[in-house]
Chains A and B, each alone.
Chain A
Amino acid sequence: MITLSGVRKSFNDVEVLKGIDTVFEPGKVNLIIGKSGSGKTVLIKCTVGLMKPTAGKILFEGADYVAMDTNEKKVIRRELGMLFQGNALFDSKTVEENVRFPLDMFTHMPLSEKRDRVNEVLKRVNLIDANHKLPSEISGGMQKRVGIARAIVMTPKYLFCDEPNSGLDPQTSIVIDELIKELTNEYNMTTIVNTHDMNTVIGSGDKILFLHQGEKHWEGDKKSLFETDNKELMDFIFASDFLKEARNAKLASFRNK
C-alpha cells in the first residue's frame, strides 16, 4: 500500500501539485487521470522518487520514502516496476537482454535460471519468439509487452505505468489494459496507472484519482464515476456527445440492476 500525504511540488514558484492526499491499495489498478498539465506525470515521478516533492510524505507500507537515504531507497526501488510512456527499452540490447537486465544486475541466479525466468515472463505477456530481436525490430504493442515483462521480472510489489496506451491502436490498448489488470491480481501488486484513455478508465479503474490543476478534484471507483456530478470530471471523461450518451446508457443499466 502506498499512502500520499499532502504531496506538493513546485517548479520555479509554480505549484504543480497542491497537497495530494490519497491511498493506493494492493491488488487494485489505481488510476490517476486528468487533463494534460494537471500534474499526473509529476505525481507519478514524485511517487517513484524520480522527483523530490517540495512538501508532504510518500509512505510505502508506512515507511516515508522521501525521508529515506539512498541505500534505503534502493531497497524500495528493487520492489518497483515501471512501464514508461515511451517504453524506455535499451536500444542496444535484445528483448531478452532488456528483460534479463534487472536479474543480471541484482541477482546471483545462474544464466539458465535467468533465461527460464525471462521466458516465463515473456510467455506471460504473450510475447514468444522475439527474444533475439532488438526493440527497433518489433511493433509498438510488442515493445509495451517487453516493457511490462521487464517491469515484472523481479516480481515487484508496486507497478507504475505512465500512459501505457499512448501510441497504440484501440484494440492493442485494451489487450495491454487487460494484461495489466490480470498481472495486478496475479501478483497482488499495487498498480498505479497514469492515463487519459477512457477505455482504461471505464475498463480497469478499481480506484480513480482525478487531478485538476494540481489538486485532487475527485476520487472513487468506475461505478461512482457514472454517478458523480463533478462538472470538471464530467467534462473531462465524457467530452463528446457519444460518450455522454454512453454514460446515460450505462447509468440506466446500473439503476436497472
Chain B
Amino acid sequence: MESLYQFGKYILMLKSLFVRPERKAMYWTETLRQMHQIGVDSMVIVFIISFFIGAVSAVQFAYNLSTTITPMYFVGYVVKESMILEFAPTVTSLILAGKVGSNVASELGTMRLTEQIDALEIMGVNTTAYLVGPKLAAAVTMIPLLVVFAAAIGIWGGMLAGAASGYVSTTEYIQGALSWFVPLNTYIMMIKAVVFSFLIVSISCFKGYYARGGALEIGKASTQAVVLSCITVLVSDYLIAWLML
C-alpha cells in the first residue's frame, strides 16, 4: 500500500513539471548548470570505466578465441556489439545512478532540510518545475551523449588492449569493428540511454525532494535513490531488450 502511495506521489510530481515557467531564462540557466554538472563533470569517470570495460572484453574474448579456429577480427565485432548494445548504456547508467543519483538526492534533501525549498515556495516559485525540470532536461540530453562517448571509448580501449596483448592486430580489430553493422542496435542504445537517464534523475529527485528529518534521513534518501535507480535501470534494460530484440 505504501509503495502504491509513493508511486502515486511520484506520478504527481512528474505531472507538476508541466507548467509554464515563471521566467524561461532562469530555467534555461539552471538547465545549463545542470548539464555541466551531470554531463561534463561525469566525463572522466565514464572515460576510465568504458576504456577498461572495452579493454578487458577484448583481451578475455581474444583469449577464448585463441584456442579455436574463429578468426581474430571477431574480437573487434564482439566488443563493438557488446559496448553498443549493453555495456555503454547499462554500465554507464549504473555508474551515473551512483554519481548523479546520490548527488541530486542529497542536494534536494539538503535544500529541503535547510528550508531553501520553503523559501522558493514562499516567493511563489513552482519548486518541482524549477528544481526537478532542469535536472531532468539536462539528464535526458547529456546522459545519451555520455553513452555514445562511452561506446566509442570502449571500442577504442578494446583495440589498444587487443594490440598490446598481441592477440589481435589493430587492422584485424578495425576490420571486425566495421563488420555487420546493425543500425537497430544503435537505436536501442539511444532508447536505453534516454529511458535510463529519465529514471535515474526522476527517482533521485523524488527521493531528495520529499526527504524529511535530518542528516540521517538525507543519507537514507540518497542511498534509496541509488538502489532504486539501479534496480529500475536493470529491469527496464531487460524489458527494452525483450520488446525490441
Contact = CB atoms under 8 A, between A and B. Distances in A.
Contact of B23 (A80, A85, A89, A106): A106
Nearest to A50: B118
Contacts of A101: 123
A16 to B, nearest CB: 17
Contacts of B124: 73-74, 77-78, 106
Q: How many B residues are at the interface, by size bracket? A: 10 to 19
A82 B23 contact: no
B26 A105 contact: yes
Contact of A82 (B110, B114, B122, B125): B122
A61 B117 CA distance: 26
Nearest to A75: B124
A112 B80 CA distance: 54
Given A74-B124, A105-B125, A82 B22 contact: no
Contacts of A82: 119, 122
B118 A88 contact: yes
B121 interface: yes
A85 B123 contact: no
Given A86-B115, A90-B116, A50 B26 contact: no
A41 B139 CA distance: 37
Interface in B120-135: 121-125
A86 B122 contact: no
Nearest to A101: B123
Contact of A86 (B26, B114, B123): B114
B23 A105 contact: yes
Contacts of A49: 121-122
A244 B33 CA distance: 56
Nearest to A70: B126
A84 interface: yes
A48 interface: yes
A88 B119 contact: yes
A88 B26 contact: no
A84 B110 CA distance: 15
Nearest to B114: A86
B122 A104 contact: no
A102 interface: yes
Nearest to A162: B115
Nearest to A150: B119
A105 B22 contact: yes
24 contacts: A48-B122, A49-B121, A49-B122, A50-B118, A73-B124, A74-B124, A77-B121, A78-B123, A80-B122, A80-B123, A82-B119, A84-B115, A86-B114, A88-B116, A88-B118, A89-B116, A91-B114, A101-B123, A102-B123, A104-B23, A104-B26, A105-B23, A105-B123, A105-B125
Interface of A: 48-50, 73-74, 77-78, 80, 82, 84-86, 88-91, 101-102, 104-106, 160
